[in-house]
Amino acid sequence: MLGLGTLYATSVPGWHFPWLMAAGAGWVLFGVAWLVMLGGVLIRRERVVTLRRHWPFWGVPLLVVALTGALVYIGAPMRVRFELSRGGLEHIAQTVSEGTPPGKQRWIGLYPVKYLEGSRGAFGFMIKDAGFFGSYGFAWSADGEPDVDGSGSYRHFDGRWYVWSDD
């Protein structure tokens, strides 16, 4: 569950900090408990036999930690969530590029919308609860790097999509 919580927390630009803090606290408690149990086994006389006999109990948590860390490191959670949302994202970007105002959206794909802005040829939205010191979201532009409201910074993400930050 901690792995899934961590993957969810890191699936948006700037990360979902409430989720990340909860998962981080869980990882700390889990790690301390695992180390205390390992220490208890290591001070017993039959420590090697016990570790060999119960290797899945000791090895699987390390594998989950390594796999979760590797997926976060390569950005897989954010990429997967973006790809699952691509249809909704492309639809609203197309609508805005044709001159239709984006209207009020609560969700775009799998992203809860904090606020959005758009004009002909450019569109951007901030994701609710993404980022700690600033807001993060995505911006789309038909003509290179977007300038949705004149502030913020942009980092190319995929095709015409950019990660938008207002920090």
What range defines the domain where residue 18 resides?
A: 2-77
Q: How confident is the model at residue 163 (pLDDT cuts 50, 70, 90)?
A: very high
Global confidence as pTM:
0.81
| Domain final position from 56, 77, 98 | 77
Q: pLDDT by residue (tens digit) across 81-134? A: 999 999 999 998 888 878 777 777 789 999 999 888 877 778 888 999 888 888
Cα–Cα distance for residue pair 68/60, rounded to 1 Å: 12
| Domain final position from 57, 77, 97 | 77
Q: pLDDT by residue (tens digit) across 132-159? A: 888 899 999 888 877 655 567 888 999 8
| Domain final position from 60, 77, 94 | 77
41 vs 22, more confident: 22
Kindly state whether residues 62 and 88 are assigned to the same domain.
Answer: no
Kindly state whether residues 73 and 88 are assigned to the same domain.
Answer: no
Contact 148, 139 (CB under 8 A): yes
DSSP label of 98: T
